[in-house]
A and B are shown apart, each in its own frame.
Chain A
């Protein structure tokens, strides 16, 4: 499979995840889906041959998800 097809698949996955994040009403699902966004973005950076950025994206994606989940414990989970 050529890199262009892989890139296209990953970018389409990013768009799909973004739509899921926009239209979901449950904030916990939104946070987990957003973690998946950062995971797919990491693969995209690897395909574009920049392992340093991919490394950073992997670590920071996990940490930001933890921040969001801690914050979610203190607010209403349902989106109004």
Chain B
């Protein structure tokens, strides 16, 4: 009873604070809001000349705020490693993914068509390949359209998850163990950081794409640099999602904290 009263009081105070602060917030899209008056104009006017990237979001994420994105990728990698460390303690019994054996008992073999006309497994396999293709499209077109490394990595992990969902005994599109997935996430972060170091070796500053050691013009150097770090982010995100997925699957139970 006492806890409920305290909770209600906290909710009322919090909501009152939120509603009181509505008056001081700028309208969405207001060009004179404090967030839009300092650096936004510079980005909008000079992004194409500085970074040669038509998508402003990619220009800011990958070029102007490259450090930010690097540390973001590192945080995500550490999140995957932490999930393995916390959840991976009780993995001695192998557990199935989505379809337990007792449901399959008495049903046709996996691979047999489920609805007489459509083979479900073939359908799901085709969808997984489509998702993978779309992920590669998003990765390569991150500079001109919406999307980029993060979305491409999530889509790749989604295609892996979808191809794992077919049937318990079929193999996914590509197989990755938990340890290999965690190592792959580290490789993704390393690709990002190594791109930054390449410019340092060539006499520039960290992540200064104009100083990459490739014999092409300055415009293409920026494109190559952004592409390299997007590949790193893609590998990192994909491997982290698969790592956490494997950690959850291999954990036998979650409500067993007593023993």
Contact = CB atoms under 8 A, between A and B. Distances in A.
Interface of A: 48, 51-52, 54-56, 59-60, 62-63, 66-67, 69-71, 73-76
Contact of A59 (B28, B95, B97, B155): B155
B158 A59 contact: yes
B154 A59 contact: yes
B146 A74 contact: no
Given A67-B245, A70-B245, A48 B98 contact: no
A75 B253 contact: yes
B81 interface: no
Please provide the 8 A-B residue pairs with the shortest distance between their CB atoms, ordered closest to farther: A51-B146, A59-B154, A52-B57, A52-B146, A75-B254, A55-B151, A75-B255, A74-B253
Contacts of A48: 28
10 contacts: A48-B28, A52-B147, A52-B151, A56-B150, A62-B158, A63-B157, A66-B245, A74-B95, A74-B252, A75-B255
Given A51-B146, A60-B154, A70-B248, 15 more contacts: A52-B146, A52-B147, A52-B148, A59-B151, A59-B155, A63-B158, A67-B244, A67-B245, A70-B245, A71-B248, A74-B252, A74-B253, A75-B253, A75-B254, A76-B255
Interface string B230-259: 000000000001001100110111110000
Contacts, number: 51
A36 B158 CA distance: 18
B157 A73 contact: no
Contacts of B98: 69-70, 73
Contacts of B191: none
Contacts of A73: 98, 100
Contact of B249 (A51, A60, A70, A76): A70
B158 A70 contact: no
A3 to B, nearest CB: 10
B193 interface: no
Interface string B205-222: 000000000000000000
B161 A63 contact: yes
Interface residues of B, number: 27
Nearest to A71: B248
A19 B244 CA distance: 29
Interface centre among A52, A69, A76 (most CB of B within 10 A): A52
Contacts of A76: 255
Given A48-B28, A55-B147, A66 B161 contact: yes
A54 B147 CA distance: 9
Contacts of B252: 74
Interface centre among A48, A55, A59, A70 (most CB of B within 10 A): A59
Contacts of A69: 98
Contacts of A70: 97-98, 245, 248-249
B96 to A, nearest CB: 9
Interface string B132-172: 00000010000000111011001101100100000000000
A72 B251 CA distance: 12
A55 B146 contact: yes
A58 to B, nearest CB: 9
A66 B245 CA distance: 9
